[in-house]
Each structure stands twice: as structure tokens, then as C-alpha cells.
A and B are shown apart, each in its own frame.
Chain A
Amino acid sequence: MAGDTQQTGTEYIQHHLTNLTYGQHPENGWSFAHNAQEAAEMGFMAVNVDSLGWSIGLGLLFAFLFRCAAKRATTGIPSGWQNFAEMMVEFVDGTVKDSFHGRNPWIAPMALTIFVWVFLMNLMDLIPVDIIPWLMSLGGVHFQKIVPSTDPNITLGMALAVFGMILYYSIKVKGIGGFVGELTLQPFGAKNPVVQAIFVPINLALELVGLLAKPFSLGLRLFGNMYAGEMIFILIAMMYSAGWVLGTFGGALQLGWAIFHILIITLQAFIFMVLTIVYLSMAHEDH
């Protein structure tokens, strides 16, 4: 266990779940929050520096790695990294072709970005929970959450972008009239205009719930899975301070959970990508 030996278990967990937040505090002005309470008091005008930093860093890593592959892309025999990048591209392209039936050149690159980026963010979960916060604390930084996808801001931020794209393409493909019609004239429809007028608010309520559920379920699913996984890693890490018997047992547990988690992080990245493709495919479908 890192940090002070006086820490209780609860404090240890809370410490691990607190972001490094920079924002406008009502009393201290623009500054780093010194504890979770101060971070909460900052309200909306704050940035989780660690989440966003790791997220953008991993995004840049993705951009750099795949840019390397794209620069060296030849029509000859691919080798090494290019091979792997092409494998990913082909896999994503296949998935997009399977689920997306419209013609939109942005869908496939978006799917690749989501899959690799979310995978990299999830992958940070496999780094033992204490290493980087400890290194950071040596540098005087007291809070550090290194898995961006355990921060709802990150997952909901991406989901919100997807939601924006759903709205944009719905209106672009179907027109405003078509989109509003889709929200109000189904699932219940009637020939009689009076009955139809009664159905409109019911349909709107149902369809709005369905529409809003898309980004929320998308963002919260990824967040929930990664948060739970992170929590289990933290709980396992607590065993290391409880003597060498429990510590050894904890080591075995951590290894087992990490191996199982490899499946989860890949699966969650894939699910996020596929759901995004499906939602956008639905947005492109004209009834």
C-alpha cells in the first residue's frame, strides 16, 4: 500500500478514486483541489487533469502508432507493425461493413479510433494500481487516476459526441421533418387525425427515452465495467498490507483478475465500437 501507513482501508480506496482536479474553487480560485470535497465544490468549472491527460496522451499514442503504419503503407508485403495495423483496419472495416449499410466515409475511421483508443484507455487498468500514483506522489502530485475510462466524464464525453453524430446524421439523412416524424408518428399510428394527435405525445415520450438512453447506456456501460474492474484491483491491492499469507493470495488473485480483465477491456472497447456503429446505422436508415 502506498502513501501513509496510518491510512485506513476506506481512505485508501477513496484516495485511489479521487481525480486530480484543477478548477475554480469558490474560495481558492483557480487551483488544484486538495481533496475530494474541494473537487466537488468546484462544480462544473473544473478539469480532471489526470483523466483528460492520460486520455489525450493515449489518443496521441494511437495517432502516432497508426500514423507510422499509414506512412509506411505499401502495396508490397507488409511486415511488423504495419501488419498489425492492417489487421486492425481490416477487422474494423469488416465490422463496419457488417452492421453499417449506408455510405459514410467517416464511420469506419471513427470505429477504428474508438476501438483502439478505448482499448488503450482500458489497458491502463492492468498497470498495478499503486505504481503510477506512488511515482506521482514522489513528484508532489497527490491524486492520480490513470484509467481514463473509469471517469464518467470521459465515457460520457465520447457518448455525447456519438449522440451529437446521431442527431446530425438523423437530420441530414431524413430532414428535420423526417426526424421529428420518426420521433412522434411511431410506434403508435392511426389514420384518424384526432387519434393520431393523441398518440403524438405518447410516441414522443417513448422515442425520446429511447433516444436519450442510447448515449447514457453507451457511456455508463463502459464506465461501470471499468470502474468495477478498477475497484476490484484496489481491493486486491489492499491485501498486500495484511501480512505475507494474504499478500501472496492477493498476488495470485491480482494475476487471475488481470488475465480475466484482458477479456473485459477488449470486449468493452469492441462493444462501444459496435454500438456506436449500430446507432449511427439506425440514424442513417430512412423509413
Chain B
Amino acid sequence: MNINLTLFGQLISFLFFIWFCKKFVWTAIIHSMEERQKKIADGLDAADRASRDLELAQEKATEQLKEAKQEASSIIEQANKRANQIVDEAKEQARAEGDRLKVAAQAEIEQEMNRAKEELRNSVAALALAGAEKVLKANIDESANRALVDDLAAQL
């Protein structure tokens, strides 16, 4: 247990090993550890960002789906409305056409009837006259009775 040169031997080797450790060990290991830390941090960041992006995309997709549904329903509604409108229009047209036809038919019927009446009236007048002529055979003043017969014929 004598203090001797060993003291300085140890001192010098101590300084040497510190230098060695600093130069060849510490820097390399710390450097790679820091690099790895950065890599991990970057990776976590990227994962965070990706999950945020995913959420955003999902939201967007849902929104678009909703919009599309809305549009579809509005289109269907419009189509329904338009169909109803078309049906209504068609009904209206049909009714108008029917009315028109009815009116025309009625007018024709009336016309026919009037013509028939006129014909009938003429025929009755002639027939009555002929009949009366035959029945009476007498000298009845034709012009005197004429008004009477016409009056009769008009009542038909």
C-alpha cells in the first residue's frame, strides 16, 4: 500500500480511456440513439397525420353520400311531380277533348234534330194539307184555312 508511480500510471490511463470513450464510443452511440429517437418521433407523427387524414376522408365520404342521397331524393320528387303534372295535363286534355267532342256531337244532334223537325214539319204540313184536302173535298177556301194549318204545323 505504498503510494508510488502507479498513481500516475492510473492517472494517464484514465485520461486515455476518457479520450477513447469520447472519440470512439460516446459520439457514435449517442448519435445513433438520437437519430433513432427522431425516426420514432417522425413515425408517430406520420401515424397521427394518417389517422387524421383517414378521419377527414371518412367525414368527406359521409358528407358526399348524404349529398348524393339528397340529390337523388330531390330528383325522384321532381320526377314524381312531373309525372303527376303530365298525368294531370293528359287528364285535362282528355277532358277538354271529350267536352269538345260532346259539344260537337250535341251540336250535330241538334242540327240533325232541327233538320228532321223542319222536314217533319214540312211533311206534316203537306200531309195535313193533303189530308184536309181529301177529307174536306169541299170548297173550302184554301187560303182561309191555310193560316190555321200552319199554326197547327208550328205546334208540332
User: Cβ of B3 and Cβ of A153 under 8 Å apart?
Assistant: yes
Q: Are B6 and A151 in contact (CB under 8 A)?
A: yes
Distance of A87 from chain B, by nearest CB (Å): 10
Q: Is the CB of B13 within 8 A of A51?
A: no
- Interface residues in A18-61 by Cβ distance below 8 A to B read 19, 21, 23, 39-40, 42-48, 51-52, 55-56, 59
A178 CB to closest chain B CB, in angstroms?
25
Which bucket holds chain A's interface residue count? 35 or more
Main secondary structure, interface of A, reads: helix
Q: Does A183 contact B (CB under 8 A)?
A: no
The smallest beta-carbon distance between B26 and chain A, in angstroms, is 4
- B14 contacts A158, C-beta separation under 8 Å: yes
User: What B residues does A71 contact at CB under 8 A?
Assistant: 28
Name the CB-closest residue of B to A92: B26
Known A63-B20, A110-B21, A113-B18: A52·B4 in contact at CB below 8 Å = no
Task: Give the residues in chain B near A19, CB-CB below 8 Å.
Answer: 1
Of B29-37, B89-97, B102-110, which binds chain A?
B29-37
The minimal Cβ–Cβ distance linking B126 to chain A, given in whole angstroms, is 131
Given A73-B31, A109-B26, are A156 and B4 neighbors across the interface (CB < 8 Å)? no
Produce 1/0 per residue, B11-26, CB < 8 A to A: 1011111101110111
Q: Please tell me if the beta carbons of B2 and A43 are within 8 angstroms of each other in the complex.
A: yes
A172 within 8 A of B: no
- Complex interface: chain B residues within 8 A of A59 (CB): 13, 16-17
- Asked if B21 contacts A46 (CB within 8 A), the reply is no
Residues of chain B lying within 8 A (CB to CB) of residue A152: 1, 3
Are B22 and A106 in contact, CB atoms less than 8 angstroms apart? yes
Decide: A156 near B32, CB < 8 A? Known: A112-B21, A112-B25: no
- How big is chain B's contact interface, by range? 20 to 34
> A93 contacts the other chain (Cβ, under 8 Å)?
yes
Q: Which residues of A contact B10 (CB under 8 A)?
A: 51-52, 55, 148, 153-154, 157-158
- A157-B6 in contact (CB<8A): yes
Question: Are B25 and A44 in contact, with the CB atoms below 8 A?
Answer: no
Interface pair B4/A157, CB less than 8 Å apart: no
Find chain B residues with CB under 8 A from A75 CB.
32, 35-36, 39
Most buried by B among A23, A51, A67, A73: A73
Flag if A46 contacts B2 (CB, 8 Å). yes
Number of A-B contacts (CB under 8 A): 134
Q: Per a CB cutoff under 8 Å, which of B2, B11, B18, B28 touches A160?
A: B11
When distances are taken between beta carbons in the complex, the residues of chain A under 8 Å from B147 are none
Contact A161 B11 (CB under 8 A): yes
Most buried by A among B8, B13, B36: B13
**B38 (CB) vs chain A CBs: closest residue:** A75
Report yes or no: A17 in contact with B17, Cβ–Cβ below 8 A: no
- Say whether A39 contacts B2, CB under 8 Å: yes
Provide the B48-59 mask, 1 if CB < 8 A to any CB of A, else 0.
Answer: 000000000000
Interface centre among A40, A108, A110, A164 (most CB of B within 10 A): A110
Q: Which residues of A contact B32 (CB under 8 A)?
A: 73-75
B residues in contact with A39, CB < 8 Å: 2
> CA A47 – CA B4 in complex, angstroms?
6
Bound CA–CA A157/B63 (angstroms): 76
Measured CB to CB, the nearest residue on chain B to A45 is B5
Q: A74-B32, A86-B33 are in contact. Are A40 and B2 (CB under 8 A)?
A: yes
Which one of A56, A86, A148 contacts B29 once the chains associate, using CB atoms below 8 Å? A86
B5 touches A109 (CB 8 A): no
Residues of chain A within 8 A of B39, CB atoms compared: 75
Cβ of A89 within 8 Å of any chain B Cβ, yes or no, is yes
User: Which listed residue (B4, B8, B25) contacts A67, Cβ 8 A?
Assistant: B25
Task: Check A85 for interface membership: any CB of B closer than 8 A.
Answer: yes
* Interface membership of chain A positions 73-102, coded 1 if the CB is closer than 8 angstroms to chain B and 0 otherwise: 111101000000110011001000000000
7 smallest beta-carbon distances between A and B, as pairs: A157-B10, A153-B6, A73-B32, A109-B22, A70-B28, A109-B26, A75-B35
Contacts beyond the supplied A21-B2, A43-B4, A52-B10: 7 A-B pairs with Cβ under 8 Å: A46-B6, A62-B17, A78-B36, A89-B29, A105-B22, A110-B21, A153-B4
